[in-house]
Homo-oligomer: A and B are copies of this chain.
């Protein structure tokens, strides 16, 4: 008998009928002899409804109260799913984040899980119950209700799988696996049977939207066996594991994109040794996630630093920068919005130095303006205008021969 942690996203529990379908899926797993812990998100658009109500009251709802508000969404889901299980004869119990022993740091709206006391879940499992846990939420040491931020339910599932030493963590979603690109943008995109944690991490960070990067990171760190599959069919999905099958030998395994990107430029910063450190320490302290960083226009005494943030963080980032203008001694800060990021990802890149050049060529041929570039061992990312994103993804997908039915090895151009 194995212990499986299953995670069902908002779409999978979007209606009463879908909740009942999830209950049947869980029961078929228990009937196959498995112990099940299921993590669920809020129903469909219910979080958006709550956010709307808060926005009607104030433009700047306090983060503690937002967490208080939003965590009700998952609490509704766990109660209804548990009822659905009980209605078909499966003993089950629901647990909020604090009841499931999930302790986070004392930060609101984007807390990290500190530790999990798995004894309440273990006890319920020993009593033969399916345990339904509210995703996305926890409790701080001082007893505040906290949330893990966007995609937090994935992290809850992986963290629970790690704490419980589960045999498998299954992420059920509305797509049936990880694709070489977003199939809505690239109709010829193919499903990958397996990817490495690192590739998935890059794909997730870059907005493939299937799995939250923090969850992948956590899975990698704790060696959690992870699968992404559809909650609407019985297909195999994509396995995320340390050693992917080398069947394909692909240099580039997928094209990722991220829609909501903005570029912030901090101009006329003094060229002191600690200027960059100070700048990004201040942003980190304010929990602003910075992605690509480019240092440019280096002169004798001043430099410009550009970095990308989520489009939602632009106003807050500029506010934080202006509040620290005297400390940082910069000239001015400016934001460029309506940008996107496209990336090519693949573990094979390390040994194929021409890949980045092929990407730049492809984008140039397509007439796409590159605003920022960032490279790592297994990815190359370009920030480009939002309006050109779809065309860029399709061109790259074709250029790296990901359209092909049969996998093809892509050769570097130089």
User: Contact residues of A with B, CB < 8 Å?
Assistant: 16, 19-20, 50, 53-54, 56-58, 60-62, 64-66, 68-69, 71-73, 75-76, 78-80, 82-84, 86-87, 93-94, 96, 98-99, 120, 143, 145
Contacts of A76 in B (CB 8 A): 50, 53, 69, 72
* Identical subunits present: 2
Q: A16-B53, A94-B68, A99-B143 given as contacts; is B87 within 8 A of A58 (CB)? A: yes
A56→B16 contact, CB < 8 A = yes
User: Residue among A19, A66, A80 with the most chain B CB within 10 A?
Assistant: A80
Chain B residues with CB below 8 A from A120, complex form: 143
16 pairs from A and B in contact (CB 8 Å cutoff): A16-B56, A54-B79, A57-B83, A58-B83, A61-B86, A64-B94, A65-B82, A65-B86, A68-B78, A68-B82, A68-B96, A69-B79, A71-B75, A72-B76, A72-B79, A99-B145
Q: Is the interface of A mostly helix, strand, loop or mixed?
A: helix
Whether the Cβ atoms of B69 and A80 lie closer than 8 Å is yes
A83 contact from B65, B78, B145, Cβ within 8 A: B65
Q: Are B82 and A62 in contact (CB under 8 A)?
A: yes
Rounded to whole angstroms, the CA-CA distance of A68 and B81 in the bound complex is 11
| Interface pair A96/B54, CB less than 8 Å apart | no
Question: Which one of B20, B65, B72, B98 lies within 8 Å of A72 (CB-CB)?
Answer: B72
Q: Which chain B residues lie closer than 8 Å to A50 at the CB level? A: 76
CA distance A19 to B69 in the complex (A): 14
- Taking A19-B57, A57-B87, A99-B143 as contacts, is the C-beta distance between A68 and B75 under 8 angstroms? yes
Contact (Cβ within 8 A) A94 B65: yes
Contacts of A99 in B (CB 8 A): 143, 145
A162, chain B: closest CB distance, angstroms: 23
Residues of B within 8 A of A65 (CB): 79-80, 82-83, 86, 94
Closest beta carbon of chain B to A62's beta carbon, Å: 5
CA distance A68 to B408 in the complex (A): 53
